[in-house]
A and B are shown apart, each in its own frame.
Chain A
Amino acid sequence: MAGFYEDERRLRGILGWIFSTDHKRIGLLYLFAILFFYAIGVLLGFLMRLELMAPGPTIMRPQTYNAIFTLHGVIMIFLFVIPGIPSIFGNFFLPIQIGARDVAFPRINLLSWWIYMTGAFLAILSLFTGGGPVDTGWTFYVPYSLRTSVNVPLAVFAVFILGFSSILTGINFVTTTHQLRAPGMTWFRLPLFVWAVYATAWIQVLVTPVIGITLLLTLMERLVGVGIFDPAKGGDPLLYQHLFWIYSHPAVYIMILPAMGVISEIIPVFARRTIFGYKAMAFSILAIAVVGSFVWGHHMFVSGQSDLASIIFSLLTFLVAVPSGVKVFNWVSTLYKGSIEVAPPLLFALTFIFLFSIGGLTGLFQGALATDVHLHDTYWVVGHFHYVIFGGTGFALFGALHYWFPKMFGRMYHKKIPYFAWALLFVGFNTLYFPMLILGWKGMPRRYYDYLPQFHSLQWISTIGSWILIAGLILLFANLIYSLFRGEKAEGNPWGGATLEWQIPSPPPRENFAEIPRIERGPYEFRK
Chain B
Amino acid sequence: MTRRALLLFAFTAGSLALGLAPARADVLSDAKAAGVLKVGTETEFAPFDYIDGDKHVGFNVDFFDEVGKSLGMKIEWVALPWDGVLPGLESSKFDIVAGPAIITKARMQRYTFSSPIGEGTVTLVKRASDASIQKPTDIAGRSVGGGRGSNQLVQLKELAASVSPPATVREYTGANETQADMAAGRIVASAMSLPNALAAAKRRPDMFAVVLPPFGVKAYFGYIGRKDAASASLMQAVDAQVAAMKTDGRMAKLQQKWFGATTELPASVTDPAS
Q: Do A and B come from one complex?
A: no
